[in-house]
Structure 1
Amino acid sequence: MTIKEIGGEFEMLSRLTRQYPQAPGLVKGIGDDCAVLDYNEEQYLLVTTDMMVENDHFSMKWQSPQQIGKKLVESNVSDIVCKGGNPGFAFLSMCLPKSVTYEFMEDFYAGVYHAAERHNVILAGGDTTHGDIFVFNLALTGLVKKDSLKLRSGARIGDAICVTGELGGSTAGLKLLLHGKNGFLNDYLEPLCRTADEGATIAKYATATIDVSDGLGSEVTHICEQSRVSAVIDYAAIPLSPATISSGSLLGLDPHDFALYGGEDYEIVFTITEKSIPELKKEFDDFRVVGKILDPAEGIHIFRDGKKFPVKKGYDHFSL
């Protein structure tokens, strides 16, 4: 039986990790953006890891080594900051083809160091081996104050669902490249995640958080599953940039689908009580309300033109 046949990567992980052991000091294990470990009286230790595989997460046809290095760091930092944490030490593991040049790796590391400097990340170690294609994996630690940690499991009925920035730009750029079209590509080639200060400010007021790796629909579903609630997403409220809207028009596709089911925007989706929204806006206002948390019996759906539509699955590595 293939992974696709059992329901995809998330169903596979759910089955394989159902019986993973609990351990003293493990506050939150599998199922959130980071593992959360007890660290000291005031802080938790956050640990995350993300892998990028050639011809899946990046392509030499349109990305430079420096852009690949930047994206690797940004994707990991996003997991830390969306929990309200500060990123710390990084560990880089690489699978390199034997034909790789020193100049390529020099440029790649320049991208890693550029993004690391932006987020005060220190590269502290890693591993290297050889293979047929490039594979890069970054493991990243971080620290978060215990009273600032926000997991996916804190959403409550009546909370507003919000998202920072604009969505869909990364998928729009990728689709333009795949179709040989000209347009705005930077959100795909050089995505930037939120900073630790922004994440910490959101965490002061949010009830649950998650970063946008797999699309708004997928991230809201993850929050609902962990919080044991349901949700409605307002189709008309999904924030799209003019460039993303233009890309959709050029491609003959709905740009809202880029936001809902694309991913790699590295924005933050969060839930918040209605009364806390004005307080958050005094400190950070680059977000929009895009939905509401509902009773579990309501189901997870999108509200568009007066009708309800079920939320489809977001990006899944084994769905193609």
Structure 2
Amino acid sequence: MNEKTWPHHRSETPNFTTIQFPIQNPNPRNPKNPKSYQMIRFDPPPSPASSRRHSRTFAALPNDILTKIAANFSLPNLQTASLVCKAWRDGLRPLREAMLFLRWGKRYKHGRGGVKVNVEKALDSFLKGAARGSTLAMVDAGLVYWEIGKKDEGVKMYKRAAELGDPAGQCNLGISYLQAEPPNAKEAVKWLYQASVAGYVRGQYQLALCLHRGIGTDQNLSEAARWYLRAAEGGYVRAMYNVSLCFSLGRGFLQNHRQSRKWMKLAADHGHRKAQFEHGLALFSEGQMMKAVVYLELAGRGGETAAAHVKNVILQQLPQPSRERAIALADNWRALPSSR
């Protein structure tokens, strides 16, 4: 059966101009020909009528639909979308205003920009941004409600953001359902899955935990390992540590000590204290004493009390200059940036 894979209509085929430009490099397939040629195609610019037709299409989008589409846009994306046409510029004005309230809310919440911390003013600013349709403001308002003990109000904010497609809102809503009394695990997994598919690494990690433990869904170690890996590749430190354990124990992945070591070191370099302890032990077992001291010192500073005992045993085997060098390296160490 002969089927077309792409529709071709004579009236829709653009007229192209083709020009041959000689390229000075010799053609290796034809040494007698000193020049090869490159075909350059020029597309004609869109006609004014076409531009007007697209403009009318954009302008016909109702403002309430436009606001829902752009509800989770950041300020740069809103500014770009506002350039499409006058109707979009006017329709997106409330969301651009919401970004100002969001900025002031963060200043009040964290004491930035010369502003003193004021939780009440922060919440008021976030709520004004949320009233203008911004899911980013809804999530921040939900966080404040949660922190001050008004969890029901926080969940309402998360749900509004989640239903508008905000991955952070979906993730926070899912976690809220897990922590509720009684928990609603199936609803939690539903929202965590939506956040995960959207690429939200914290949601991917939380979904992996649910699959690993069989919470709200059937236990599935292969799927859990897959989501741990997605979150780890996205920079989520706890997921890096769990991926290492999956490879080490052969849970969800085939056992692979090389991959386990790789992810354990990555987790350690990103500041995971348990990973620092375990990576330090691995270095000690390989005889890399000074490196082992650095990671064990970092783990001890992070609260791994058992790391201090092993570190002291190693220090007794090192000369004084090596001891001082190892502690200096720990003093100057900085964690690699991560998602969490």
TM exceeding 0.5:
no
Relative contact order higher in (CA < 8 Å, ≥ 6 apart)? 1
TM-score by length of 1: 0.24
Structure with greater proportional helix content: 2
Q: Which has the larger radius of gyration?
A: 2
